[in-house]
Amino acid sequence: MLVAIVCLMLALPAQAERLRDLATFAGVRDNALVGYGLVVGLDGTGDQTMQAPFTGQSLTNMLSQLGITVPPGTNMQLRNVAAVMVTADLPPFSQPGQRLDIVVSSVGNARSLRGGTLLMTPLKGADGDTYAIAQGNLLVSGVGAQAGGSSVQINQQAGGRISGGAMVEREVPLDLGANGGVLSLQLKEADFGTAQRVVTAINNDFGWPVAAAQDGRTIQLQGPPTANDRVNFMARIESLDVTPVEAMAKVVINSRTGSVVLNSQVTLHRAAVAHGNLSITIDTDYQVSQPAPFGDGETVVVPDSNIEIQQEEGTLRIVEGRADLVDVVNALNALGATPADLMSILEALKAAGSLRAELEII
């Protein structure tokens, strides 16, 4: 019986990590951008304007801005235009003229965006202001073909990417250290022990109390007042080595795939487990009932179902207390449980107090 333990982290001693891998400075982050635009030049694979009227409306509005008037009520049966949503991430400290990669996704019923060209599309932030302009030729990885009522497709064709397809038009205001050079360092995983170690490492490196923990995630830093000295200060902070506190014991169960992941802190206390499977088999055999010759009856199909219930024997097994992850895995394997049964056993061990770990089901 195979147990679906996908990833086992062996109990290794904690190692020092660079502080830049454990924390980030407040405000130094990406910003999401989104825009609505049109892709033209498709080979008859665009939106059907009858089912996607917003594509025709968008095209009419765009043509009017270019000085072309479309008579009211005109039904443009176009198949080479598609309405799309354009998304991008604006990195911190981006300046006007910088190029961004963008993702283009169809919002209508276009079959494929292959060969299309994205027209000028403003990309806006959460505040509604335009931060970039996108335009260019799409690269679509999917491909498909159809003929005679049959079709074949590889990957997805209703979306694509444009490398460097957007140009930054304005920067996101970010004034680090505006409050007298005070900076905030935020841990990616909140932990009081790790925060205390970070504060100690920073203060020991500088030789005076530069850092002070605000809570289990935020650490306040007193940085230099000038921009150049502040950059050197932040680079020095990020290069420090800190040994984080070991993560709490946790078992993660994926109920959809049956995957079970245990970290190195998981332990077991002594317990007794009884395990058995109940299976129900329904086998249906269809028979044909025919009337006598020259009779008035009709030929019918009669189902004959056979239901069988089997239950495997479940005996109590002692699970010894284990402090090492390898021993815990061997103890669970000895139960001979399937992945689905292993989930139930782990839940029962947790409820009984034998499993010394947090149980998380995703």
Reduced to 3 states, what is the DSSP secondary structure of residue 170? coil
132-143 tens-digit pLDDT: 999 999 988 866
Q: Are residues 113 and 140 in the same domain?
A: yes
How far apart are alpha carbons 37 and 58 in whole angstroms?
8
The model's pTM is 0.68
Q: Are residues 140 and 106 in the same domain?
A: yes
Structure tokens that stand for 68 in this block: 């072309």
> Could you give the angle at the alpha carbon of 15 between the alpha carbons of 10 and 17, nearest 5°?
125
Q: Are residues 61 and 143 in the same domain?
A: yes
Query: Euclidean distance between the first and final Cα of the chain, in Å?
Result: 24
9-43 tens-digit pLDDT: 433 445 788 988 999 998 888 999 999 999 998 88
Q: Is the pLDDT assigned to residue 221 strictly greater than 80?
A: yes
**Domain enclosing residue 90, as ranges:** 31-168
Q: Is the pLDDT assigned to residue 8 strictly greater than 70?
A: no
pLDDT: is 108 or 14 the higher one?
Answer: 108
User: What is the average pLDDT across 255-275?
Assistant: 75
Structure tokens that stand for 264 in this block: 């190195």
Supply the DSSP string of 146-177, one letter for each residue.
EETTEEEEES--SEEEEEEEEEE-SPPP--TT
How far apart are alpha carbons 242 and 18 in whole angstroms?
6
Backbone CA torsion sign across 45, 50, 52, 57: positive
Is residue 38 left, alpha or beta, with left meaning phi > 0 and alpha meaning psi from -120 to 50? beta
Q: Which residue has the tokens 């200060």?
A: 233
Answer with the one of 138, 168, 198 that is the final residue of a domain: 168
Q: Is the pLDDT assigned to residue 284 strictly greater than 80?
A: no
Candidate ranges 130-134, 178-182, 190-194, 319-323; pick with highest mean pLDDT: 130-134
In a domain, 100, yes or no: yes
202-211 tens-digit pLDDT: 999 999 999 9
In a domain, 295, yes or no: no
